[in-house]
């Protein structure tokens, strides 16, 4: 018989993390397939505008995008939003919001 190992207790099923902007919680997709695609897009030293928009489309569910649209972010703030979303999911050296 093939070996079977239950790893359920080793996994977390906490759901997606959220960024808070002006008191609104913005959900970020954190599933592994999505994040692997995002990291491939953002992995080069200088991602272009298309890479950032593609990452945005992957990172945020439609409900979050509607909330973000209401914020009318400038382009630099939009870039910060995407970068912080990636850092929130994959972790980093600093706390979210620190740059």
99: in domain? no
Domain presence at residue 79: yes
Segments in 31-74 forming alpha helices (H): 32-42, 49-59, 62-71
Residue 78 included in any domain: yes
Q: Would you say residue 47 lies in a domain?
A: yes
Res 92: pLDDT: 57
Q: What is the pLDDT of residue 10?
A: 83
Say if 26 falls within a structural domain.
yes
Do the domain assignments include residue 52?
A: yes
The reported pTM is 0.79
Identify the pLDDT of residue 3.
Answer: 94
Instruction: Report the domain count for the chain.
Output: 1
**What per-residue confidence (pLDDT) applies to 14?**
78
Q: The domain containing residue 19 runs over which residues? A: 8-90
Q: Per-residue confidence of the chain (99 residues) as pLDDT tens digits?
A: 899 998 888 877 778 999 999 999 999 999 999 999 999 988 877 888 899 999 999 999 999 999 999 999 999 999 999 999 999 998 855 454 443
> Does residue 65 fall inside a structural domain?
yes
Q: What is the DSSP letter of 97?
A: T
- Does the residue 98 lie in any domain? no
Contact predicate 65/58, CB 8 Å: no
């Amino acid at each position: 018989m093939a070996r079977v190992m239950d790893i359920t207790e080793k996994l977390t099923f906490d759901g997606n993390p959220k960024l808070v902007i002006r008191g609104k919680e913005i959900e970020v997709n954190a599933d592994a397939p999505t994040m692997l695609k995002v990291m491939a897009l953002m992995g080069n030293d200088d991602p272009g505008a298309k890479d950032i928009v593609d990452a945005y489309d992957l990172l945020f569910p439609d409900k979050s995008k509607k909330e973000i649209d209401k914020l009318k972010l400038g382009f630099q703030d939009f870039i910060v939003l995407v970068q912080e979303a990636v850092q929130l999911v994959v972790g980093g050296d600093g706390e979210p919001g620190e740059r």
